[in-house]
Amino acid sequence: TAAARSGADALLFPKISTPDALQACHAAMEKAGAPANTKLWVMIETPLAMFHLHEIAACARTTRLGCFVLGTNDLAKETRARLVPGRVPMLPWLMQTLAAARIYGLDVLDGVYNHLKDEAGFIAECEQGRERRGAL
């Protein structure tokens, strides 16, 4: 309730894997009295979310949904995919998320970069995100 009433531009909800979970977050924000301009951002970080991306994105029509935030670390953990330079195992999921978001006018924030001391790798990953047309 405190977060919903804080006046924040958005509230971020983790592990949203189904449209029903997103609808429950929206209902909780409404019940708590969140200002009308407070958006709902959701973490896309499970294999189940990948299978429901279009339906989750479609909730933008009837909820406060404004942004997908990619949880690449959790997605890698749950799928046993490796986080490697170039993110080849992740690319299909990243593009699928971007496509679903763009259909419904949503923003997308790319996943975190884990190698804090590797500036060249960070730049490469940012450039890769830019090539995907605004996923960062």
Measured CA to CA, the distance from residue 72 to residue 16 in angstroms comes to: 14
Q: Are strands 65-70 and 39-44 parallel, antiparallel or unpaired?
A: parallel
- pLDDT (average), residues 99-107: 96
Beta-bridge partners for 13: 42
Span 91-100, mean pLDDT? 93
The amino acid at 56: I
**pLDDT, tens digit, for every residue of 63-75?**
999 999 999 999 9
Continuous H helices in the chain: 19-32, 47-51, 53-58, 72-79, 91-103, 119-131
Query: Residue 132 — pLDDT band, cuts 50, 70, 90?
Result: low
pLDDT at 135: 45
DSSP 8-class letter at 3 = T
What percentage of the chain has pLDDT greater than the value 90? Answer: 74
pTM listed for this prediction? 0.88
Stated length of the chain: 136
pLDDT digits (tens, 9 = 90+) for 7-54: 999 999 999 999 999 999 999 999 999 999 999 999 999 999 999 999
